């Protein structure tokens, strides 16, 4: 945070800077504590400090730089004591020194202004004037032309710096498509980048030929493009057009021209366009209308889809990414863009090949799996392995079970014989005898059937009636039933 006084501070005076508490919040949402600091001013006879931007000795200054500043630690005025106006012509004609090498830059090529506090002079180049490459420049103020607000002479001073060298393109890379190519490059200075796309066996063109969209023989390039670029920022140039063929080797050539029309060295990169791909691919289950391939992309060649349980076949529809071409779309060995593929054992593998004549082929693979079922076919329950009865957990009926801890034995038969049963923290198979311990007050036990597809699951509940069994019940003969309270 910079505090800039709007007028000169008093001499030999203590000033306080106070930051109030809870007036700012940091990235973690914490408020600031209060802070107080102070400083003491000196006298007006202390030395004036002048700083420059670019700084003295700077190198690699961008040639598209348009403004330069001279900063004073104290306000200044004309040497005769008069106040400077914002765009005072005196600043350009008498005060500021601006040189290229040892030669003065014409005052017609720049303007000079000063801020309201009279502490910063700004030199601004005209739009039609640009700095030269790899050149030394000097900005300064002449002697006996300015005084401080306190009346002290502002001595002559200056700063010299050097502009960047020749324009350069770096980080050259390409992104191929079927009938298009992207070129990515990084310029070291701002300017305009020109590029051409030529056959891979053609000789390199010159910078001028590239700028004109030509090849080395002066003929038109297969494709040409250009883009305005900013120093150090990645630029993308796009080649497109009907003359760009699929699965073909090309070479890209590019050149950067800076603001003064200086060209960089020509850079190049080899690239091969991609072969013909699919525009769309649909897999429609038997009796349905919806495509089960979600998010198809021509660049993604492997898919796995799930179809409803009981599906016996799927319809496959493939469309090449071209309205017309010489070649074939082949589905599981048959030259046809549509096909019915049967499922065997709930599975099918679909291979789709796009083959343009004389070009590389692209293969897509789709694995189809039938959704498993987690339905229950039957189950039995009893208090001993050899004495069990049928039980349907979907009926909501309760299985009578005496009070106290008990053991029960189950046999669960899922419709899908390859499914698994999860009960009491264990995994069981269909048809297996399952022994479980029932707590004294337990009235419900759940189990889960997980289909062989690993996706479909269903939870079932076994409910128990834990009502106490009567100890003496009349069977209608006047005699008690065997057990407690009666005789055998």
Bridge partners (DSSP) listed for residue 199? 250
pLDDT over threshold 90, residue 428? yes
For residue range 294-313, list pLDDT tens digits in order. 999 999 999 999 998 889 99
Cα separations in angstroms, 160 against 241, 253, 443? 49, 37, 92
For residue range 329-354, list pLDDT tens digits in order. 999 999 999 999 999 988 999 999 99
| pLDDT confidence band for 82 (50 / 70 / 90) | very high
Question: Does residue 183 share a domain with residue 209?
Answer: yes
Question: Does residue 363 share a domain with residue 313?
Answer: yes
Is residue 117 in a domain? Answer: yes
Residue after which a domain boundary falls, among 347, 370, 393: 370
pLDDT over threshold 60, residue 463? yes
Q: Which residues contact 336 (CB under 8 A, 6 or more apart)?
A: 329, 330
Helix (H, G, I), strand (E, B) or coil at 146: strand
Is residue 16 in a domain? Answer: no
**CATH no. for residue 223?**
2.60.40.2550
For residue range 358-417, list pLDDT tens digits in order. 999 999 999 998 888 899 999 999 999 888 999 999 998 999 998 889 999 999 999 888
Q: Give the Cα separation of 282 and 293 in Å (integer).
A: 6
Question: Does residue 174 share a domain with residue 98?
Answer: no
Question: Does residue 253 share a domain with residue 185?
Answer: yes
DSSP label of 135: -
Question: Does residue 268 share a domain with residue 174?
Answer: yes
Q: Which residues contact 30 (CB under 8 A, 6 or more apart)?
A: none
The per-residue pLDDT for 345 is: 81
Cα separations in angstroms, 45 against 41, 75, 143? 11, 14, 18
The per-residue pLDDT for 10 is: 84
What string of DSSP letters covers 381-418? EEEETTEEEE--GGG--EEE--SSSEEEEEEEEESSTT
Is residue 113 in a domain? Answer: yes
Is residue 6 in a domain? Answer: no
The per-residue pLDDT for 28 is: 82
Question: Does residue 176 share a domain with residue 139?
Answer: no
CB 193 within 8 A of CB 170: no
What string of DSSP letters covers 328-365? EEEETTEE-SEEEEE-BTTEEEEEEEEEETTS--EEEE
Both tokens of 375, joined, read: 């339905």
Q: Tally the domains of the chain.
A: 4
Question: Does residue 72 share a domain with residue 152?
Answer: yes
Query: Is residue 61 classed exposed, middle or buried when 0-12, 13-18 and 19+ CB atoms within 10 A define those classes?
Result: middle
Residue after which a domain boundary falls, among 221, 249, 272: 272
Is residue 485 in a domain? Answer: no
Is residue 112 in a domain? Answer: yes
Q: Identify which of 234, 213, 232, 212 has the alpha carbon closest to the alpha carbon of residue 223.
A: 213
The per-residue pLDDT for 44 is: 62
- Residue 362 has φ and ψ, to the nearest 5°, of -125, 130
The per-residue pLDDT for 43 is: 72
Is residue 199 in a domain? Answer: yes
E strand or H helix that includes residue 99: strand 96-100
The per-residue pLDDT for 309 is: 84
Is residue 93 in a domain? Answer: yes
Q: What is the mean pLDDT of the chain?
A: 91
Question: Does residue 60 share a domain with residue 149?
Answer: yes
For residue range 223-243, list pLDDT tens digits in order. 999 999 988 899 999 999 879
**CATH no. for residue 284?**
2.60.40
Q: Identify which of 65, 41, 40, 42 has the alpha carbon closest to the alpha carbon of residue 54.
A: 65
- Return the percentage of the chain with pLDDT > 90, whole number: 74
The per-residue pLDDT for 470 is: 60
Q: What is the mean pLDDT of residues 5-17?
A: 86
The per-residue pLDDT for 452 is: 81
CB 365 within 8 A of CB 349: yes
Q: What is the mean pLDDT of residues 461-486?
A: 59
The per-residue pLDDT for 479 is: 46
For residue range 129-146, list pLDDT tens digits in order. 988 888 999 999 999 999
Domain of 316? 278-370
For residue range 166-181, list pLDDT tens digits in order. 899 999 999 999 999 9
- Between 441 and 349, name the one with better pLDDT: 349
Q: Give the Cα separation of 82 and 151 in Å (integer).
A: 11
Both tokens of 73, joined, read: 């630690």
Q: Give the Cα separation of 240 and 152 in Å (integer).
A: 67
Span of 2-11, 46-55, 244-253 with lowest mean pLDDT: 2-11
Span of 49-53, 63-67, 101-105 with lowest mean pLDDT: 63-67
Both tokens of 308, joined, read: 């409803």
Span of 38-47, 268-277, 452-461 with lowest mean pLDDT: 38-47
The per-residue pLDDT for 480 is: 41
Question: Does residue 233 share a domain with residue 206?
Answer: yes
The per-residue pLDDT for 274 is: 97
pLDDT over threshold 60, residue 481? no
Question: Does residue 254 share a domain with residue 153?
Answer: no
Question: Does residue 55 share a domain with residue 97?
Answer: yes
**CATH no. for residue 73?**
2.60.40.1220
Residue after which a domain boundary falls, among 246, 272, 298: 272
Question: Does residue 103 share a domain with residue 185?
Answer: no
The per-residue pLDDT for 241 is: 86
Tokens 């008498």 belong to 94
């Amino acid at each position: 945070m910079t505090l800039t006084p709007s007028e000169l501070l008093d001499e030999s005076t203590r000033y306080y800077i106070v930051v109030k508490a809870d007036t700012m919040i940091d990235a973690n949402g914490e408020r600031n504590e209060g802070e107080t600091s102070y400083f003491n001013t000196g006298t007006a006879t202390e030395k004036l400090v002048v700083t420059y931007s670019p700084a003295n000795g700077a190198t690699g200054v961008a040639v598209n730089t348009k403004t330069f500043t001279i900063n004073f630690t104290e306000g200044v005025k004309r040497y005769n004591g008069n106040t400077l106006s914002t765009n005072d012509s005196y600043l350009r004609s008498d005060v500021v020194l601006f040189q290229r090498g040892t030669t003065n830059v014409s005052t017609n090529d720049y303007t000079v202004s000063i801020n309201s506090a009279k502490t910063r002079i700004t030199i601004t180049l005209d739009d039609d004037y640009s700095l030269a490459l790899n050149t030394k420049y000097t900005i300064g103020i002449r002697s006996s032309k300015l005084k401080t607000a306190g009346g002290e002479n502002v001595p002559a001073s200056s700063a010299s710096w050097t502009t960047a060298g020749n324009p350069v393109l770096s980080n050259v890379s390409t992104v191929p498509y079927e009938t298009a190519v992207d070129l990515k490059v990084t310029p070291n200075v701002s300017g305009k980048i020109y590029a051409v796309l030529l056959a891979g066996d053609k000789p390199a063109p010159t910078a001028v030929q590239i700028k004109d969209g030509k090849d080395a023989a002066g003929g038109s390039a297969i494709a040409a493009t250009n883009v305005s670029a900013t120093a150090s920022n990645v630029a993308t140039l796009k080649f497109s057009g009907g003359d760009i063929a699929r699965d073909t080797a090309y070479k890209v050539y590019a050149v950067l021209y800076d603001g003064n029309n200086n060209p960089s060295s020509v850079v190049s990169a080899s690239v091969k366009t991609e072969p013909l791909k699919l525009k769309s691919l649909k897999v429609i289950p038997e009796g349905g209308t919806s495509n089960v391939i979600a998010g198809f992309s021509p660049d993604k060649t492997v898919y796995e889809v799930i179809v409803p349980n009981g599906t016996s076949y799927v319809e496959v529809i493939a469309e090449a990414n071209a309205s017309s071409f010489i070649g074939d779309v082949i589905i599981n060995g048959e030259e046809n863009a549509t096909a019915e593929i049967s499922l065997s054992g709930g599975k099918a593998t679909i291979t789709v090949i796009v083959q343009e004549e004389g070009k590389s082929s692209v293969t897509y693979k789709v694995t189809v799996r039938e959704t498993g079922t987690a339905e229950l076919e039957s189950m039995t329950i009893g208090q001993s392995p050899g004495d069990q009865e049928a039980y349907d957990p979907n009926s909501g009926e309760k299985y009578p079970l005496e009070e106290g801890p008990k053991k029960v034995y189950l046999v669960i038969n899922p419709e899908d014989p390859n499914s698994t049963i999860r009960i009491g923290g264990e995994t069981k198979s269909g048809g297996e005898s399952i022994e479980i311990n029932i707590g004294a007050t337990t009235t419900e036990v759940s189990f889960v059937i997980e289909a062989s597809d690993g996706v479909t699951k269903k939870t079932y509940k076994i409910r128990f009636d834990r009502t106490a069994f009567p100890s003496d019940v009349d069977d209608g003969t006047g005699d008690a039933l065997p057990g407690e309270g009666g005789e055998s």
